C-alpha cells in the first residue's frame, strides 16, 4: 500500500489508474480543442454524406416547407416539435424510421455539440441539399 499525505491509502493499481487517467486527460485535451474549433467540410465525411443522400432520396416524395427543419431537429436533437408532427405525419414517420440509417450524421452532431459553427455548417449543408 502507498500512503498519500498520511491520510488516504491507495493500492498500486489505483495509483496506476490515476496516472493513466491524468495522461488521458492531458492527451485528449488537444483532441477536444480540435473538435471545438473544427468546421464542417463535407468531403471529410464521405460515409455521413452517403447517409444523408439516402435520407434525401427517401424523403423526396414528401412535400413540406419545414422538411429541412424537421430533419435537422431530429438528427441534431432527436426531437421534433409537436405541431410539426401533427402537420406532417407521413414525413415524421419517414424521418423517425431513418434513425438507424443516419447514425453517423447524428454522431457528428453529438461529437461537435460544443462547436456551434460546425453544427451550423452541417445544418446549412442539409438545408442546401435537401430536395
Provide the residue ranges of all domains of the chain, joining segments of one domain with +.
2-37, 42-129
pLDDT digits (tens, 9 = 90+) for 30-67: 555 555 578 999 999 999 999 999 999 999 999 999 99
Predicted TM-score of the model (pTM): 0.72
The predicted model gives 10-25 an average pLDDT of: 57
Contact 76, 119 (CB under 8 A): yes
DSSP β-bridge partners for residue 10:
2
- Over residues 62-121, the pLDDT tens digits come to 999 999 999 999 999 999 999 999 999 999 999 999 999 999 999 999 999 999 999 999
CA quadruple 56, 77, 107, 38: dihedral positive or negative? positive
Q: Are 127 and 121 in contact (CB under 8 A)?
A: no
Amino acid at each position: 500500500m502507498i500512503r498519500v499525505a498520511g491520510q488516504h491509502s491507495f493500492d498500486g493499481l489505483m495509483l496506476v489508474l490515476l496516472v493513466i487517467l491524468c495522461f488521458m486527460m492531458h492527451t485528449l485535451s488537444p483532441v477536444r480543442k480540435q473538435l471545438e474549433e473544427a468546421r464542417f467540410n463535407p468531403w471529410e465525411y464521405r460515409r455521413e454524406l452517403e447517409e444523408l443522400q439516402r435520407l434525401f432520396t427517401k424523403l423526396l416524395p414528401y412535400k413540406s416547407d419545414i422538411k429541412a427543419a424537421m430533419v435537422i431537429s431530429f438528427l441534431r436533437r432527436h426531437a421534433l416539435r409537436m405541431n410539426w408532427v401533427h402537420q406532417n405525419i407521413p414525413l415524421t414517420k419517414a424521418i423517425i424510421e431513418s434513425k438507424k440509417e443516419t447514425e453517423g450524421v447524428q454522431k457528428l452532431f453529438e461529437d461537435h455539440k460544443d462547436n456551434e459553427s460546425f453544427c451550423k455548417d452541417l445544418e446549412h449543408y442539409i438545408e442546401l441539399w435537401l430536395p
